[in-house]
Each structure stands twice: as structure tokens, then as C-alpha cells.
Amino acid sequence: MKKEKIILETDKITAGYGGVDVLFDASIKVKEGELAAIIGPNGAGKTTLLRTISGVLRPRKGKIIFKGEELNGKTPRERLELGIGYIPQEDKIFPKMSCIDNLRMGAYTLPKNKFPEMLEKVYQLFPVLKERRNQIAGQFSGGQRQMLAVARALMVQPDLLLLDEPTSGLQPSLVKEVLSKVKDLHQQGITILIVAQNREALEIAERGYLVRVGKVVLEGTVKGLLNNDQVIQLYFGG
């Protein structure tokens, strides 16, 4: 049985860019050990929500609470050290660095002697990264980039992983592979909040939130969501 402890809570977050808000009073809760999804059409504010949680963007209003601690005013580094890992949708690697240097950047906050141990762990998870460790990351394919991005975030063993559309732009066979890796990570005990762009990504989750025009409009189990008219419309058009 899963514990029912809340690890992350956003309380009425309002945020935006350059004075224009794109997210209004967004409240979500993520339980410890859970795999939660955020779904919604393009431009709904899903990425903005992840950016405020990771500390890249300051919310204009609202509170973010992680492990009982208020995050407002904390820098991205402090949030990382508390255990929040974030993998953006775009620009998720350092393109001019080698694969291993990207991983070194992932371990930036770690003491030097812990690096080899963590490196071995992520190599086990993604053997292809070991093979290509000296290759420049900019030459990687979409799937390899995604794996490198996940591996970079895993270097510090985060408790909560924020994944922004990890399958965007990938071919169907790779979508399955990436999602099965996400599931593996979840089974290893990492709490995951994933922005799900397609049905397959939503299906691996347990619970989800539907975001529309900057508002959380629906919350429920994945089963419930998949039968909801708004969600069906989102994924199948019409």
C-alpha cells in the first residue's frame, strides 16, 4: 500500500511572464511515492507550473510546500538540495558538452567522491550513455537526449522528479521505452510528476490533473480521467 503523505503541494499558484499571468490559482497535491500526471492542451500552463515548482520562475501569488517546507524564496539550487529534480521539455541537455560532462553537471552539488558511484548507477539504468560517454551531447538522437536528461537529473537522487513531456518529438517505439523507464524509476520509489502529452504517458500514471487556460479544472484517478469527456476530447480531438 502507498503511504498517503503529501510530498508536494501547490497552493493557489498564480504565475506568468512579463506581467502577463498564464496560470491562475493552480492547486495540486502530489502524494509521496505516487506517479501523478498533469494534462491539458498546449499553452494551458503545465510547463509554467513545473517551472514555479523548480524555482526557475517565481510565482506572483500562492505557496509551494515540499516535504512540509515552504519553497517560496528558495533558489533552484536549494530546491534541488531538498530533493526536487526537474527535466524541462526543451533544451534539457548541454549541447556542446560531452555526455559525461553533462552527467558531471548533474552531480554539480554532490561531493566529488560520490560522482563515480552515481555514475555507475545511471550507466546501469541507461547503458547507451556509457557507450557514448565521450560523444558530444548535441549529436545525440532525441531518445538519447531524453535518457541523458533523465540521467542528469538522477545524479543527485531526487525524491521528486518533475518531467515535462518526456516523450515529445519521439518516435512511437521510443515513447514506449522512455515511459517504461519512467515506470521503473517510479517503482524504485521516486515520486514523479509528469506532464503527459499523450494518452500513453497518462496511462502509466495513477492520478492526474487537467489544466485548461491556466486553471486546474479536473482532478481524479487516471481511470476516471480517461473516461472523462474533456480528456477524451483532448486526446482524440473532436
Partner 1 sequence: MGGWIVSGLVYGSIVALGALGCSYILLIQRYFNFTAAPWLALGAYLAWTMMQVLPHWGGLELIIAAVVAMVALGIAMTVADKALLKPLRKRGAPFMYFYMTSFGLLFVVRSIIWLIWGPQPKYYYPGSSAGIKGPWGIMVTPAEILTLIVAVVVVAALYFFQYRTKLGRGMLATSQNSTLASISGVEPDTIHTATTMIAGFVTALAGILYGLTIQIRPLMGWYILLGIFVAVVCGGEGAILGTLVAGYIVGLAQEVGSNLIQIPLNFWGIPVYMSAYKIAISCVLFLVVIYFKPHGVFKGTFLER
- 3-state DSSP assignment of residue 66: strand
Q: State which of residues 28, 47, 100, 104 lies at the interface with partner 1 (CB under 8 A).
A: 104
Q: If binding is defined by CB under 8 A, does position 97 make contact with partner 1?
A: yes
The answer to whether residue 126 forms part of the interface with partner 1 (CB under 8 A) is no
Q: Which residue among 95, 116, 127, 224 contacts partner 1 (CB under 8 A)?
A: 95
Q: How far apart are CA 35 and CA 203, in angstroms?
A: 10
Contact call for residue 72 and partner 1 (CB under 8 A): no
CA distances, 206 to each of 27, 37, 221, 223, 226 (Å) = 18, 8, 6, 8, 11
Eight-state DSSP code of residue 182: H
Q: Look-up: residue for cell 533544451?
A: 91
Task: Report the SS3 class of residue 79.
Answer: helix
Site for partner 1 in 9-38 (CB under 8 A): 18
Q: Is 93 in the site for partner 1 (CB under 8 A)?
A: yes
Is position 94 an interface residue for partner 1 (rule: CB under 8 A)? yes
CA dist., res. 60 & res. 22, Å (int): 11
The region of 54-62, 139-147, 192-200, 217-225 touching partner 1 under the rule CB under 8 A is 54-62
| Contact residues: partner 1, CB under 8 A | 18, 54-56, 75-77, 80-81, 86, 88, 91-97, 101, 104-106, 108-109, 112, 152, 156
